[in-house]
């Protein structure tokens, strides 16, 4: 083990949060941790509210003209951690594998600055639960608690394993895809493996359907548009010599436009309906949670990109204009009604998001706090 420097205040917050990952709307310890930390800040300029397991903080502006918002998500994932950390998850089977521990630590770092140095404009800090599912952004936006603290512009970041520390990436327009979960349950008739004519085999039906679903991408979606259907899991049957009465497909749909999502879903429904006829079975489709695209408002994003390029090199921050990705993020709901943007924060690590071994480079934390503190200050004085 190499000797590492003493972690900064915010790296320490990240490591504390890393040890208590909780899934959507179960972020009770996480919420308490945030509230405990925020209670140590100077209180004269701030007000705190909770919404479900989320936390909202208002920093009162000195001469407010508008309200700027910053959002960090809070939830972890049902993944068994496999890192070399000595601050590993204390919740067996759960892990902060999507960097939301870093997102919160960065949010707390920015908040810490502004709690002592309020700017002209009001600031709303949003610690949002349940990003990974079932989705906290949409109900939070509709909540009474956020109503009078609703930002006029809003910003967020997401860690990016593929970029080195010091690199951030974004683009005007669409950044992340429209996403939908996909669950298809098939019910036929079970029976003895040697008497297929007396049964109605859902393993066969499921296999056919998996292949057919890919034809939606190949034959229905415009080749100049983009969409993905992935079936990540198949369950079916009970035993090797029994014909399966039930099968279940679990997957996800990703599209670059909301219209294509509608098209893909209608084609899936047509194929499943046809399967019911062809196999004399019953099928049920459930789309689970759906996330709207992340669409970066063009003017504000371009202005931010230019500001980074012109002013942030001395802070060792490089900006690249990236391509859109087929990942999903429920921050898209914020950007549907509030102009703003999201950007990727380089954390240079060989393992991807949602991987049990992901170890984001923690130097990105102080770097992002500095960047967003300077940006919000600049933004507010305009």
Q: CB 100 → Zn ion: shortest distance, Å?
A: 6
Residue 355 annotated as binding site: no
Residue 327 CA to residue 138 CA, distance in Å, equals 18
Q: Return the range that interacts with Zn ion (CB under 5 A); candidates 4-12, 25-33, 90-98, 330-338.
A: 90-98
Q: For the purposes of burial, counting CB atoms within 10 Å of the CB of 55, is it exposed (0-12), middle (13-18) or buried (19 or more)?
A: buried
Residue nearest to Zn ion (CB): 98
Q: Which is nearer to Zn ion, 77 or 261 (CB)?
A: 77
- Count of positions on this chain that bind Zn ion (CB under 5 A): 1
Q: CB 73 → Zn ion: shortest distance, Å?
A: 6
Q: Which is nearer to Zn ion, 59 or 110 (CB)?
A: 110
Q: Which is nearer to Zn ion, 176 or 375 (CB)?
A: 176
Q: Which of 42, 38, 21 is nearest to 30 (CA)?
A: 21
Element (H, E) at 249: strand 246-255
Q: Return the range that interacts with Zn ion (CB under 5 A); candidates 97-105, 188-196, 221-229, 303-311.
A: 97-105
Residue 382 CA to residue 363 CA, distance in Å, equals 30
Say which of 121, 132, 201, 330 is annotated catalytic.
132
Residue 132 annotated as binding site: yes
Q: Which is nearer to Zn ion, 93 or 196 (CB)?
A: 93
Residue 229 engages Zn ion in binding (rule: CB under 5 A): no
Residue 98 engages Zn ion in binding (rule: CB under 5 A): yes
Q: CB 55 → Zn ion: shortest distance, Å?
A: 18
152 is catalytic: no
Residue 98 annotated as binding site: yes
Residue 347 engages Zn ion in binding (rule: CB under 5 A): no
Q: Which is nearer to Zn ion, 121 or 362 (CB)?
A: 362
Q: Return the range that interacts with Zn ion (CB under 5 A); candidates 93-101, 183-191, 199-207, 217-225.
A: 93-101
- CA geometry: angle at 108 spanning 106 and 109, to 5°? 60
Q: CB 233 → Zn ion: shortest distance, Å?
A: 17
Burial annotation 243-278 (CB, 10 A radius, 16+ → b, else e): bbbbbbbbbbbbbbbeebbebbbebbeebbeebbee
Contact between 184 and 272 (Cβ < 8 Å): yes
Contact between 360 and 349 (Cβ < 8 Å): yes
Q: CB 279 → Zn ion: shortest distance, Å?
A: 35
Residue 358 engages Zn ion in binding (rule: CB under 5 A): no
| Residue 284: φ, ψ to 5° | -135, 130
Residue 272 CA to residue 116 CA, distance in Å, equals 58
Residue 105 engages Zn ion in binding (rule: CB under 5 A): no
Residue 197 annotated as binding site: no
Q: Return the range that interacts with Zn ion (CB under 5 A); candidates 95-103, 194-202, 289-297, 355-363.
A: 95-103
Query: How many other CB atoms are there within 10 angstroms of residue 10's CB atom?
Result: 22
Residue 18 annotated as binding site: no
| Residue 275: φ, ψ to 5° | -65, -40
Residue 247 CA to residue 249 CA, distance in Å, equals 7
| Residue 325: φ, ψ to 5° | -125, 155
245 is catalytic: no
Beta bridge partners of 173: 296
| Residue 31: φ, ψ to 5° | -60, -45
Which residues belong to the annotated binding site for Mn(2+)? Answer: 98, 100, 132, 158, 354
Q: Provide the annotated active-site residues.
A: 73, 132
Binding site for Zn ion (CB under 5 A): 98
């Amino acid at each position: 083990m190499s000797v590492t420097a003493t972690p900064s205040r915010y790296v320490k917050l990240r490591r504390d949060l890393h040890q208590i990952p909780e899934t959507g709307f179960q972020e009770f310890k996480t919420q308490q941790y945030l509230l405990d930390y925020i209670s140590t800040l100077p209180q004269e300029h701030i007000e705190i509210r909770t919404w479900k397991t989320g936390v909202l903080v208002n920093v009162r502006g000195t001469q407010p003209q508008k309200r700027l918002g910053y959002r960090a998500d809070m939830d972890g994932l049902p993944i068994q951690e496999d890192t070399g950390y000595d601050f590993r998850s204390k919740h067996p089977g759960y892990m902060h594998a999507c960097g939301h521990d870093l997102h919160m630590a960065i949010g707390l770092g920015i908040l810490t600055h502004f709690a002592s140095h309020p700017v002209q404009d009001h600031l709303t800090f949003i610690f949002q639960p349940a990003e990974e599912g079932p989705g906290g952004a949409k109900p939070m936006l509709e909540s009474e608690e956020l109503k009078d603290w609703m930002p006029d512009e809003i910003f967020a970041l997401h860690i990016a394993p593929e970029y080195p520390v010091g690199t951030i990436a974004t683009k005007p327009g669409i950044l992340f895809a429209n996403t939908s979960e996909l669950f298809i349950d098939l019910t036929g008739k079970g029976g003895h493996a040697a008497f297929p004519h007396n049964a109605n085999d859902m393993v066969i039906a499921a296999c056919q359907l998996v292949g057919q679903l890919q034809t939606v991408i190949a034959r229905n979606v415009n080749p100049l548009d983009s969409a993905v259907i992935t079936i990540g899991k198949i369950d079916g049957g009970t035993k090797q010599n029994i014909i399966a009465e039930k099968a279940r497909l679990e997957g996800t749909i990703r599209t670059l436009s909301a219209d294509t999502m509608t098209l893909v879903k209608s084609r899936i429904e047509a194929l499943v309906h046809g399967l019911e006829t062809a196999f004399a079975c019953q099928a049920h489709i459930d789309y689970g949670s759906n996330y709207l695209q992340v669409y970066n408002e063009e003017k504000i994003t371009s202005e931010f990109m230019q500001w980074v390029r012109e002013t942030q090199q001395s802070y060792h921050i490089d900006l690249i204009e990236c391509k859109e990705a087929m990942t999903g993020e429920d921050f898209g709901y914020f950007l549907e009604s509030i102009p703003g943007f999201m950007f990727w924060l380089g954390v240079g690590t060989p393992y991807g998001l949602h991987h049990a071994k992901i170890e984001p480079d923690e130097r990105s934390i102080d770097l992002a706090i500095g960047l967003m503190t300077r940006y919000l200050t600049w933004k507010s004085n305009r």
